[in-house]
Structure 1
Amino acid sequence: MMTFKTPLAGLAFAAVAGGTAAANPDHDLGRNLFTDNAFMPCSACHALADAGAEGAVGPDLDVFAPTIDQVRVAVTSGIGIMPAFSEDLSEEEIEAISAYVAAATGSAVPQEGASDLAETPGGADAS
């Protein structure tokens, strides 16, 4: 009976470890999309020191420090004058950008209710 526990435990560990690795978006892809997206790079409108971006149309992401969830919602659905990119970017690309921005600003932990983006830094109403 003991012979089954080790292989099953190993399989369970491999599944968990594999799932974790697969859930981590590619940060290089996120950075490249942020700076060089052929359609409209995020850096055209947003400042982000890690990317060398100095856009001034949208919020300075270093100051705003959005969470993964906030970036995902904004990129997917748009907010304020920012258009939605759900038809131009794949889910993988949106996840990569979201994870990259949150990691670059130190806000990589998803938070409940983070999709509420009604107020941006400086009190500007984004709706």
Structure 2
Amino acid sequence: MTKIQSTGLAMLQQRCPRCHEGHLFTHSAANPIHFAEMPERCPVCAQAYEPEPGFYWGAMFISYAFSTAIMLVTGFLVYFLLHDPAVWVYVTSVAVVAVLLTPLSLRYSRTLMLYWFGGVRYEPRNALKAG
């Protein structure tokens, strides 16, 4: 696996917050059934991905912020690109985009929750020992 030095890039690529190598999710975001599955531990450094039971309940608030942003941006794009169409166009557009982006919203909300509140910091020395 490729080691990523930047914490921001590791978050974008959904990698382990401790070693920046292990993947946080077992399947692709395009997998409609298993997009939310996470391994119990990092396959590279054995960092636990769930620091405590119910840890990811807090990610719902991050996901809510993502969903709100997605809906606002979609609404503005529909308004400006389609020149203020009928209400059903707004509702349909926002619903379709929100459903299509749900896997990414969930995955990135969990990733941010783990990075911000998981109490784990990047340790390049441990990553070198594990690799």
**Given the two structures, how large is their TM-score scaled by the length of structure 1?**
0.25
Indicate the structure whose relative CO is greater, using CA pairs within 8 Å and at least 6 residues apart. 2
Q: TM-score by structure 2 length?
A: 0.24
